[in-house]
Amino acid sequence: MLRRISLFLFALFLVSCGSNTEDASQASYDFPWYNPEIGFEERVQLLIDEMTVEEKIDQLLYNAPAIDRLGVPDYNWWNEALHGVARNGRATVFPQPIGLGATFDTELLFRIFSAVSDEARAKFNVSTSIGNRKRYAGLTFWTPNINIFRDPRWGRGMETYGEDPYLTGQMGLACVNGLQGDDPKYLKTGACAKHFAVHSGPEELRHEFDAVTSMKDLYETYLPAFKRLVIEGNVESVMGAYNRVNGEAACASQLLLKDVLMDQWNFKGHILSDCWAIKDFHTGHMVTSSAAESAAFALNMGVSLNCGDTYPFLGEALEQGLVTEETINERLSTLFITRFELGLFDPDEMNPYNEVDESVINSDAHLDLAYEAAVKSLVLLKNKGNVLPLSSDIRSLYVLGPHANNSEVLIGNYYGMSGSLVNILEGITSRVSVGTSINYSPGVLAYRQNVNPMDWTTETAQQQDAIIAVMGISGMIEGEEGESLASSNKGDRLELNLPENQVKYLKKLREGNEKPLIVVITGGSPMTIPEVEELADAILWVWYPGQEGGNAVADIIFGNESPSGKLPLTFPLSVDQLPDYEDYSMVERTYRYMTSKPLYPFGYGLSYTKFSFNDLYLDKEEIAADETLTVSVDVKNSGDIEADEVVQLYITVPDQASNQPLWALKKFERITLKKGASTTVSFELTARDLEQFNEEGKTGVLPGEYVIHIGNGSPGERGQELGVQLVSTTFRVN
């Protein structure tokens, strides 16, 4: 938004300089909208004024055709960069977003997506030079997915940063800043906040489903991350969701698009539909009766770009008086502003991002970044008797499991292609001594019983000094509708257990065996694994860790790195603890409202060292609702190795009887401490951090006594049982 305002003021300045100068400067260009001395707003208007209605409508489609007579090249808006440039060939593959969420590291996220946008610019520069303007070759990325992972059964939850609105907003903001760059005139790439806004399954019903939510839950849980990206991040675009929200199609919602996004937040970028979502208006939701009505409905509600094939019916809608050409012009202008901000109508030398060359793609620096991200994402859930780390000089080791030698579990979904994927077996093999006897076998199929009943692995494995079993799931059984080929629920996981055959195999490995059993689990969503918790000596949760995942896993196992990832969501003990999947109320959902005891709580993750939290200090004991409170805590690494810790601050608000959260994350900071070292971590809490919402969606700061909790995990009984360190105190708001 700030970029658009500054460009508009620049245009006014140029106009004020006099028409003679303008006429002279335009004379050297074939078309006036190619004149870089004129502001973007004016150039766009000059272009639109020359277009026919048919040409305008064509430009509202994701695969906008060229207009040769006006010098407008074709442009395909559809591109993805969920954890690296996706679906467009060679690119660095970073961990899946749910794993990035586990890093709790916004500075890392910014560096990652700065690298992603570098690779995107380099690929675009090469692609255009060879005439490749197809889907996934552009600069407008439909990233990040900042929906709230409210229910662990949702197959696309792995695309998000977890279940917490604050964490999601902070990580999403860092992603947007990295993608869009900091040039005052040009966008590096265009980012997109999706899917606006109450959207997290069921996948099977998304084309007809109505997500019903209270105004409290809407404003307190589902909207905050979007608000942060729009207002603080100036995100270039917002994508609507497939489903309805409180009866309104999300891609034509008066509440979401008009009242909230444009009126309350003053969003000036472009709005786009999810792919073929506008068609759902008349085929699934039945809120319109024809394609022309659906196209008009979306356009009138603010949607500029149709990912799909419904907007060609705008010509029919125009004839029927359902839309006006003025509205078409308004929507079209937001799209061309983005294309101008990307520098697509300016001389190459004017745009600094045109200097990025292909040497950045899969560069050593990006390889190091992928490794760092993978290491920081891994979460150690159990380490009985400090069985980890193993010595790299271990005499004998058996690596088992269907995902040990499987590169598919590195990449998740919406991925790019890398020539240097390192799977977990390869990583482990590269880290052990050449004198170590190491063997490998899958041992068990991924999702069903072995067809061959013979077992040549269990007895041999039990004779080794340690067993590493790489279990879990992959994108074959969780993901987007139609993407997960082995899923019986179109990508959702209605049962959250580790596949039964894998659990049975772990039981065989454990039976009569006292040697260390380390279980490495892949997956993008929580699992109910109490049996694994009992069987394993150590459990390392690795998500879908990207191209360097194997090296990162190995370095954690052998102690070259200390684990530091934290769960960005709650692992329930049983699916019976969850409300109905189709219920969008937050009652009993996520760590903020769940009253039953989980298996692993939000924010939890072990380390190879021990951190202590002491001397929690507030600069005031009482504050007015508009004052700022400074909170400080001393953190000490009392172990004997350097390691990272994530310092987390939670608030419990007064008036719990009115459906307020039990506690909510408000601040966090990742720190590095040498062995024996201490530091003081300080946070500032403002009225925005303390605000709560009532059932009408109205906000305010409640008077009364607040509780502050600071430590390395969320409050709660289960966290205490697992050794989460917390210190707490109170203050009052008058």
Report whether pLDDT(20) > 60. no
Q: Which of 58, 274, 346, 555 is catalytic?
A: 274
The residue to which tokens 């409640």 are assigned: 702
Report whether pLDDT(136) > 90. yes
Q: Which two tokens stand for residue 583?
A: 């219920």
Query: What confidence tier does 15 reach under pLDDT thresholds 50, 70, 90?
Result: very low
Report whether pLDDT(14) > 90. no
CB atoms near residue 530 (< 10 Å):
13
Mean pLDDT of 517-522: 98
Query: What confidence tier does 29 reach under pLDDT thresholds 50, 70, 90?
Result: confident
**H or E stretch covering 667:** strand 664-673
Report whether pLDDT(135) > 90. yes
The closest of 391, 515, 401 to 464, measured between CA atoms, is 515
Phi, psi dihedrals of residue 439, rounded to the nearest 5°: -130, 160
Please tell me the CATH superfamily of domain 370-569, with its number. Answer: Glycoside hydrolase family 3 C-terminal domain (3.40.50.1700)
Residue ranges of domains in the chain:
1-50, 51-352, 370-569, 611-733
73-109 pLDDT tens trace = 999 999 999 999 999 999 999 999 999 999 999 999 9
Long-range contacts, stretch 179-184, CB < 8 angstroms, 24+ apart: 179/81, 179/113, 179/116, 179/117, 179/120, 179/141, 179/143, 180/117, 180/233, 180/234, 180/235, 180/236, 181/114, 181/117, 181/353, 183/352, 183/353, 184/3, 184/6
Please tell me the CATH superfamily of domain 611-733, with its number. Answer: Immunoglobulins (2.60.40.10)
440-452 pLDDT tens trace = 999 999 999 999 9
281-298 pLDDT tens trace = 999 999 999 999 999 999
Please report the pLDDT score of residue 16 as a whole number: 43
Please report the pLDDT score of residue 3 as a whole number: 58
Report whether pLDDT(23) > 90. no
**Packed helices 424-431 and 549-557: angle between N→C axes, nearest 10 degrees:** 50
530-575 pLDDT tens trace = 999 999 999 999 999 999 999 999 999 999 999 999 999 999 999 9
356-397 pLDDT tens trace = 999 999 999 999 999 999 999 999 999 999 999 999 999 999
Average of per-residue pLDDT values in the chain: 95
Residues 726 and 715 sit within 8 Å (Cβ to Cβ): yes
Mean pLDDT of 691-709: 92
Query: What confidence tier does 655 reach under pLDDT thresholds 50, 70, 90?
Result: confident
Query: What confidence tier does 646 reach under pLDDT thresholds 50, 70, 90?
Result: very high
Active site residue 537: no
Query: What confidence tier does 658 reach under pLDDT thresholds 50, 70, 90?
Result: confident
- Percent share of the chain, pLDDT over 70: 96
CA angle 249, 250, 256 (to 5 degrees): 120
Say if domain 51-352 classifies as CATH 3.20.20.300.
yes
The residue to which tokens 């991200």 are assigned: 373
Specify the pTM.
Answer: 0.95
Please report the pLDDT score of residue 659 as a whole number: 82
**What is the spatial distance between Cα 546 and Cα 548, in angstroms, rounded to a whole number?**
6
Please report the pLDDT score of residue 10 as a whole number: 43
**What is the spatial distance between Cα 624 and Cα 567, in angstroms, rounded to a whole number?**
34
Please report the pLDDT score of residue 4 as a whole number: 56
